[in-house]
């Protein structure tokens, strides 16, 4: 290991305050490999302020599998967020980004904060985490003006946030900011002073659509965004200095020092809206996401009058190149209904793993891409007949996660003996694989419950209608359990499981896929708000009760 | 006045025997047994319909009044049931001396606690007014978030309040109307960063009741609960736990309920014994009227109250499939030279579906002279 990394690792361990849990939150929005081999960084986006920040885990292969050994947390200052709270609801793939990337001996992410004037969350620049110094700070990059009297909608504010970051070999940082072009650090690294980037330490570049030339912009308030390209994605091959730029009109390529880029054709079109670019460490494999915007007119009649409403429909496509970008092929998605946006892509061998989310559906999972083909997960994983489209999504049924929780990111990390895969989820911790995705291990924040069925803990104990609550319990010996839900006046409303086998376990015996309550009764009807009681009973006459307050609104 | 001594002798077909007999009259016994036979299947059958536990109104279903709880949670036909404004709005016009007051408290398993308060008074010669408050809450509810962090303890509570006015329509008939509101407070203000509402409340709904004294041994009562001021007559409202929409608002309603009760005064071992029977019909949809049986839930309650010893009562009953037992004792006190009766009641409830025995239910009834 390089001496530099050794020093950092020692400092990391010496100054490390052991995390109370494995990481900040089971709700994570993005994951990245760390700059220290064997580490992964996770963006925590739980609801509590204390769950808003970053966690770093050291992963090691042991005889019992991949385990997290050592972790540290970095909580963002109050009011600053690493993720926009509406990112899951954006209809535009370019906005669905969770950004965290290594840069030298630091990690760089994006920052958001609520505007003091409008209260709407807007981009606040970048976050820099220096683990050796246990330091986390934010800095603002040159920004345009937002009129506090009439601030744009959150979706428009997301458009001018940071969509992509590329870190060059010398530590130079390129930041894609949509209509506000690209911010490129001049000094290396960026000069930080009072949390504001000094104007001459970064320059703002915009791409001219006519000839692909870079134009430097001194003051973004003077920028006419209709005359320059919006940049949604950026990537760099540091060894060759090749810069890749994804814009609203095409994919561009050129040298980092060049003042001009060349447009790259994808298929028969060279003006596709490019919303994402991901490449492996050697820049041999590249995945590109394009997203066409189409305006659809919906005609309805209300009170005898015809109303026409314009809706924007986004159609996405994936393109791959396995030859350093010399040629691209469109990935054949299995069905039209699998229309997704990509959170992140990781490359392992000849396989690209894309963490995806449906654009207008709840489809979520990993897509495994080989060449220009998306692969199904093996038949051996399940005997259930499922919709054909879902067989291409690697999620709970493929064993990637063990419970309901959207996959939000994917990365590879150094295992020493090879590379591992790690996936972040919203609600199910992280999942890691040491065998190229064949089997997965879940790592979660979990608190032990008393053994012998002496305690039942509902997680969470206050349910809002759109969620579920996990029934956490622990058996001292394997048994068959029955889990039932009762109302306050002790009327049984739901049988969750009946006489199902569960194993004794050092932490808990809960089956996270089945031992959950969704706020519905046996007939599938949502119950009303109130206090409910959950009984777990085994076939040896042990029983225990948990409480859950349901606030209503099951969907 | 002892009703049994005033029985006319020309009603053998109903009483089936000597009204002064120390045993339960056969005719009355037969009628009552037939009613019980008819309703008995309902007692075992209350699981067939939609899940009542998932609907609004558990505070109301658990009742109010420990004396009434001890005899199967029955009271719509007994004009001395307290709180009268809750049991049957007509009761507030019954001829009670003084101002009846009742206070009841319960502590059940799993930290469930409840309280009921009732007060009523005559108004002129034919009217009466009354108020009732029923509350149910949870003590020491541990709030845990999605990351299994303990955010503290909360004490959520739920309540129903009734304001009733009644009239004596005739020598035998009482009618009444009560206005009711329900509400809750989840007690989560300091746990989550949301703009919580200051306790949710339903709009005002109303209940109508009728009570009749048939001869001297029979009383009947009919109550229709949870009517709303809209075209469907449904007690419907929107529950919005937070003002910032962090928790979705939901449309909800309390099921319209038809409660019919009969009370028979008998005689056992020379002591008065009262037999109560009630049938309840819950309409599970928020339309005006639904005739589809699948939209209804029926259940029954029965109870017995026996003046087994001087100033003392023994009680038993069943509320759906929950067995109840109870007892009470009257202290004949005096206040300012006026008789001041003080009744202490206790009940034991067995919640059969959960397997819980709940022995901590105590109530006090009295009358301000």
Compute the distance between CA of residue B128 and CA of residue B293 in angstroms, rounded to an integer: 37
Cβ contact (<8 Å) for B58 and A47? no
* Ordered DSSP codes for B208-268: EEEEEEETTTEEEEEEEEEE-SSTT--EEEEE-SBSSSSS--EEEEEPEEEEEEEEEEEEE
Cβ contact (<8 Å) for A549 and B156? yes
pLDDT at position A380:
61
pLDDT tens digits, residue range B126-178?
999 999 999 999 998 999 998 888 999 999 999 999 999 999 999 999 999 99
Cβ contact (<8 Å) for B146 and A26? yes
pLDDT at position B3:
37
pLDDT tens digits, residue range B107-125?
999 999 999 999 999 998 8
Compute the distance between CA of residue A533 and CA of residue A486 in angstroms, rounded to an integer: 5
Pick the residue of B59, B114, B148 with the most A CBs within 10 A to test the interface with A by mutation: B148
For chain B, the average pLDDT equals 86
pLDDT at position A415:
87
pLDDT at position A312:
72
Gyration radius (Cα) of chain B, Å: 21
Please tell me which residue of chain B has the smallest CA distance to A469. Answer: B146
Compute the distance between CA of residue A336 and CA of residue A103 in angstroms, rounded to an integer: 38
pLDDT at position B191:
83
pLDDT at position B225:
97
With residue A9 as reference, give the H or E element that holds it: helix A3-15
pLDDT at position A195:
47
Q: Name the phi and psi angles at A88, rounded to 5.
A: -70, -20
Residue B9's pLDDT band, with cuts at 50, 70 and 90, is very low
- Lowest-confidence pick of A10-19, B37-46, B85-94, B160-169: A10-19
Smallest Cβ–Cβ distance between B53 and the set A460, A491, A535 belongs to A491
pLDDT at B1 over 80: no
Low-confidence ranges of chain A (pLDDT < 50): 1, 6-7, 10-20, 188, 192-200, 383, 385
DSSP state of A455: -
Smallest Cβ–Cβ distance between A529 and the set B138, B148, B250 belongs to B250
Higher pLDDT, A531 or B22: A531
pLDDT at position A201:
55
Cβ contact (<8 Å) for B354 and A535? yes
Residue B20's pLDDT band, with cuts at 50, 70 and 90, is very low
CB A137 within 8 A of CB A127: yes
pLDDT at position A538:
95
Residues of chain B with Cβ-Cβ distance to A462 below 8 Å are 143-145, 186, 188, 191-192
* Ordered DSSP codes for A409-434: EEEEEE-SSSEEEEEEEESS-EEEES
CB B346 within 8 A of CB B365: no
For residue A112, give the 3-state DSSP assignment.
strand
CA B338 to the chain's CA centroid: 30
CB B280 within 8 A of CB B221: no
Cis, bond preceding A60 (omega within 30 deg of 0): no
Cβ contact (<8 Å) for B51 and A51? no
pLDDT tens digits, residue range B290-314?
988 888 999 999 999 999 999 999 9
pLDDT tens digits, residue range B188-215?
888 877 777 766 788 899 999 999 999 8
Compute the distance between CA of residue A68 and CA of residue B175 in angstroms, rounded to an integer: 72
CB A332 within 8 A of CB A373: yes
Give the distance from residue B304's alpha carbon to the nearest chain A alpha carbon, in angstroms: 22
For residue A474, give the 3-state DSSP assignment.
coil
Residues of chain B with Cβ-Cβ distance to A551 below 8 Å are 186, 241, 247
Compute the distance between CA of residue A320 and CA of residue A267 in angstroms, rounded to an integer: 11
Contacts of A470 (CB under 8 A, 6+ apart): A403, A458, A459, A510, A512, A515, A516
Q: pTM (2 decimals)?
A: 0.85
Cβ contact (<8 Å) for A549 and B141? yes
Compute the distance between CA of residue B192 and CA of residue B90 in angstroms, rounded to an integer: 44
Taking alpha carbons only, the member of A409, A337, A527, A512 closest to residue A98 is A409
Buried b (16+ CB within 10 A) or exposed e, A48-61: beebbbbbbbbbeb
pLDDT at position B46:
46
The CA-based diameter of chain B, rounded to the nearest angstrom, is 75
Compute the distance between CA of residue B181 and CA of residue A53 in angstroms, rounded to an integer: 45
pLDDT at position A219:
76
Compute the distance between CA of residue A115 and CA of residue A80 in angstroms, rounded to an integer: 11
Cβ contact (<8 Å) for B58 and A487? yes
Taking alpha carbons only, the member of A188, A172, A244, A183 closest to residue A216 is A183
Give the distance from residue B248's alpha carbon to the nearest chain A alpha carbon, in angstroms: 6
Cβ contact (<8 Å) for A487 and B248? no
Smallest Cβ–Cβ distance between B54 and the set A25, A521, A555 belongs to A521
CB pairs under 8 A between A and B: 152
Compute the distance between CA of residue B253 and CA of residue B286 in angstroms, rounded to an integer: 7
Supply B51's token pair.
Answer: 């899940």
pLDDT at B16 over 50: no
pLDDT at position A496:
97
Q: Please name the residue that has the structure tokens 């005006």.
A: B288
pLDDT at position B50:
62
Give the distance from residue B311's alpha carbon to the nearest chain A alpha carbon, in angstroms: 32
Intra-chain end-to-end CA distance of chain B, in Å:
18
Residues of chain B with Cβ-Cβ distance to A523 below 8 Å are 50-51
Compute the distance between CA of residue A101 and CA of residue A128 in angstroms, rounded to an integer: 10
Cβ contact (<8 Å) for A529 and B241? yes
Compute the distance between CA of residue A37 and CA of residue A415 in angstroms, rounded to an integer: 7
Contacts of B256 (CB under 8 A, 6+ apart): B224, B225, B226, B227, B233, B234, B235, B282, B283
CB A87 within 8 A of CB A99: no
Cβ contact (<8 Å) for B354 and A533? yes
pLDDT above 90 as % of chain B: 65
Query: Are β-strands A462-463 and A543-550 bridged in parallel, bridged antiparallel, or unpaired?
Result: parallel
């Amino acid at each position: 290991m390089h001496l530099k990394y050794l020093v950092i690792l020692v400092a990391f361990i010496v100054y490390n305050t052991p995390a109370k849990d494995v990481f900040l939150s089971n709700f994570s929005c993005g994951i990245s490999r760390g700059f220290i081999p064997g580490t992964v960084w996770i963006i925590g986006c739980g609801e509590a302020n204390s769950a808003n920040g970053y966690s770093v885990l050291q992963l090691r292969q042991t005889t019992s599998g991949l385990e997290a050994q050592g972790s540290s947390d970095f909580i963002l200052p109050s009011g600053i967020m690493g993720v926009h709270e509406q990112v899951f609801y954006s209809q535009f793939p370019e906005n669905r980004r969770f950004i965290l990337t290594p840069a030298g001996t630091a990690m760089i992410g994006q920052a958001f904060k609520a505007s003091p004037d409008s209260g709407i969350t807007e981009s606040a620049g970048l976050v820099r985490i220096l683990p050796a110094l246990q330091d986390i700070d934010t800095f603002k990059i040159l920004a345009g003006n937002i009129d506090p009297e009439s601030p744009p909608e959150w979706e428009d504010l997301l458009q001018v946030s940071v969509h992509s970051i590329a870190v060059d070999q010398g530590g130079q940082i390129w930041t894609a900011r949509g209509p506000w072009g690209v911010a490129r650090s001049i000094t290396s690294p960026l000069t930080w002073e009072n949390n504001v980037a000094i104007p001459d330490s970064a320059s703002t570049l915009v791409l001219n659509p006519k000839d692909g030339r870079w134009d430097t912009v001194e003051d973004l308030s003077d920028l006419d965004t209709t005359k320059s390209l919006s940049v949604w994605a950026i990537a760099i091959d540091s060894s060759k200095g090749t810069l890749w730029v994804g814009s609203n009109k095409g994919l561009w390529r050129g040298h980092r020092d060049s003042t001009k880029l060349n447009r790259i054709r994808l298929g028969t079109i060279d003006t596709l809206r490019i919303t994402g670019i991901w490449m492996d460490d050697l820049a041999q494999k590249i995945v590109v996401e394009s997203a066409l915007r189409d305006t659809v007119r919906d005609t309805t009649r209300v009170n005898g009058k015809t109303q026409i409403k314009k809706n924007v429909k986004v159609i996405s496509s994936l393109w791959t190149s396995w030859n350093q970008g010399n040629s691209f092929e469109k990935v054949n998605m299995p069905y039209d209904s699998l229309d997704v946006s990509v959170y992140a892509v990781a490359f392992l061998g000849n396989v690209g793993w894309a963490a995806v989310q449906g654009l207008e559906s709840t489809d979520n999972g990993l897509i495994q891409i080989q060449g220009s083909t998306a692969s199904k997960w093996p038949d051996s994983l399940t005997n259930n007949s499922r919709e054909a489209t879902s067989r291409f999504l690697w999620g709970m049924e493929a064993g990637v996660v063990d419970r309901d929780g959207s996959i939000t990111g994917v990365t590879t990390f150094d295992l020493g003996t090879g590379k591992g895969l790690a996936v972040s989820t919203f609600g199910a911790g992280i999942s890691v694989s040491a065998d190229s995705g064949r089997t997965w291990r879940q790592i979660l924040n979990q608190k032990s419950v008393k053994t012998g069925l002496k305690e039942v803990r509902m997680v969470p104990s206050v349910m809002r209608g759109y969620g579920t609550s996990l029934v956490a319990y622990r058996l001292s010996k394997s048994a068959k359990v029955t889990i039932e839900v009762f109302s306050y006046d002790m009327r049984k409303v739901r049988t969750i499981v009946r006489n199902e086998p569960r194993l004794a376990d050092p932490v808990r015996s809960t089956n996270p896929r089945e031992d959950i309550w969704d706020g519905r009764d046996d007939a599938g009807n949502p119950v009303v708000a109130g206090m409910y009681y959950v009984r777990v009973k085994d076939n040896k006459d042990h029983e225990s009760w948990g409480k859950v307050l349901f606030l209503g609104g099951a969907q | 006045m002892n009703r049994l001594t005033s029985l006319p002798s020309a009603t053998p077909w109903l009483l089936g025997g000597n009204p002064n007999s120390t045993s339960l009259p056969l005719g009355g016994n037969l009628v009552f047994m037939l009613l019980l036979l008819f309703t008995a299947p309902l007692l075992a059958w209350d699981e067939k319909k939609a899940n009542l536990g998932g609907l609004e109104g558990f505070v109301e279903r658990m009742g109010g009044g420990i004396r009434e709880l001890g005899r199967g949670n029955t009271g719509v036909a007994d004009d001395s049931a307290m709180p009268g404004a809750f049991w049957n709005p007509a009761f507030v016009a019954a001829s009670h001396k003084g101002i009846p007051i009742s206070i009841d408290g319960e502590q059940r398993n799993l930290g469930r606690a409840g309280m009921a308060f009732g007060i009523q008074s005559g108004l002129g010669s034919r009217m009466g007014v009354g108020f009732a408050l029923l509350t149910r809450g949870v003590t020491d509810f541990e709030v845990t978030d999605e990351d299994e962090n303990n955010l503290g303890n909360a004490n959520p509570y739920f309540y129903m309040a009734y304001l009733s006015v009644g009239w004596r329509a005739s020598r035998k008939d009482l009618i009444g109307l009560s206005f009711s509101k329900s509400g809750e407070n989840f007690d989560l203000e300091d746990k989550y960063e949301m703009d919580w509402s200051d306790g949710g409340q339903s709009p005002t709904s109303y209940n109508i009741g009728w009570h009749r004294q048939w001869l001297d041994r029979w009383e009947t009562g009919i109550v229709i609960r949870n009517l709303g001021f809209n075209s469907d007559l449904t007690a419907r409202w929107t529950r919005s736990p937070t003002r910032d929409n962090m928790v979705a608002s939901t449309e909800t309603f309390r099921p319209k309920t038809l409660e019919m009760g009969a009370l028979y005064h008998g005689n056992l071992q020379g002591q008065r014994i009262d037999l109560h029977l009630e049938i309840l019909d819950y309409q599970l949809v928020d339309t005006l009227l639904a005739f589809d049986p699948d939209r209804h839930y029926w259940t029954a309650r029965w109870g017995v109250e026996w003046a087994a010893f001087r100033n003392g009562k023994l009680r038993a009953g069943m509320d759906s499939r929950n067995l109840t037992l109870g007892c009470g004792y009257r202290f004949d006190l005096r206040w300012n030279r006026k008789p001041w009766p003080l009744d202490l009641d206790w009940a034991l409830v067995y919640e059969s579906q959960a397997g819980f025995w709940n022995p901590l239910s105590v109530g006090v009834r009295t009358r301000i002279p």
